[in-house]
Amino acid sequence: MGQPVKPLKVAPSLLAADFTRLGEEVKDVEGAGADLLHLDVMDGVFVPNLSFGPVVCQAVRNVSSLPLDVHLMVTNPEVLVEPFAAAGASRLSVHVEAVTHLHRLLTKIGEAGMVPGVALNPLTPLSSLEEVWPFVGFIVLMTVNPGFGGQSLIPQATEKLARLSEIRARVAPHVELVVDGGVTVANAPALRQAGADTLVAGTAVFAATDRRLAIAQLKGGA
């Protein structure tokens, strides 16, 4: 019954890792089936929290061959494009709410050798993507207010994802949809059904007793 459901990619968010053992944590989720690694960069201005910058990205690059998916939650992302390219980032997303000259910035990210992405806060309308599609490889749909790991997914976000997926199918089928925030094994099937290609999961992976099983369940294969 219904549409065949494609397997998801899972991107563990390193924010939920044990930072005293970051190298081991990275190796562990890589061995457990992670498809890419999600790095949350916070500046204490765009979001009420601070995390880490290019130095940590470089350290992760040194121990992993997985693609590094860097999510910039900062007010002035322009200045971080080259430092993250140099630190081995594979993909770089910026918040549509934080940027005035989005075309220039997305072009700069691509020219620096990374895949450009755009992230949307929970109540930012999908119409803000209307001109963006030709210039991105992926969209990050925030399903919590950015700033912290371990929050609960905002229920209305699943229906927003379904609308985003419908638009994507019409205007830019090659663009990947990434869901970020409050993803769990319990809500993953609904997110998959609503059109997610990639699930970012911090707590759901790093706090799991069996991370391999958690990743397999998030993907829908266990």
Catalytically annotated residues: 40, 180
Strands 68-73 and 176-180: unpaired
Instruction: State which of positions 143-182 bind ligand DX5 (CB under 6 A).
Output: 144, 146-151, 180-182
Least distance CB 49 / ligand DX5 (angstroms) = 8
Least distance CB 12 / ligand DX5 (angstroms) = 9
Both structure tokens of 214 = 């958690």
Query: Residue 151 binds which one of ligand DX5, Zn ion, none, with CB within 5 to 8 A depending on kind?
Result: ligand DX5
Instruction: State which of positions 133-192 bind Zn ion (CB under 5 A).
Output: 180
89 binds ligand DX5 (CB under 6 A): no
Least distance CB 185 / ligand DX5 (angstroms) = 11
40 binds Zn ion (CB under 5 A): yes
* CB environment 140-150: b (16+ within 10 A), e (fewer): bbbbbebbbbe
Both structure tokens of 86 = 């140099």
* Total residues binding Zn ion (CB under 5 A): 3
The DSSP result for 75-144, as a single string, is: S-GGGGHHHHHHTT-SEEEEEGGG-S-HHHHHHHHHHTTSEEEEEE-TTS-GGGGTTTGGG-SEEEEESS
Instruction: State which of positions 33-72 bind ligand DX5 (CB under 6 A).
Output: 38, 40, 71
15 binds ligand DX5 (CB under 6 A): yes
95 binds Zn ion (CB under 5 A): no
Phi, psi angle pair for 85, to nearest 5° = -60, -45
Q: Rounded to whole angstroms, how far apart are CA atoms 72 and 70?
A: 6
Q: Which residues bind Zn ion (CB under 5 A)?
A: 40, 71, 180
Q: Which residues bind ligand DX5 (CB under 6 A)?
A: 13, 15-16, 38, 40, 71, 144, 146-151, 180-183, 200-204
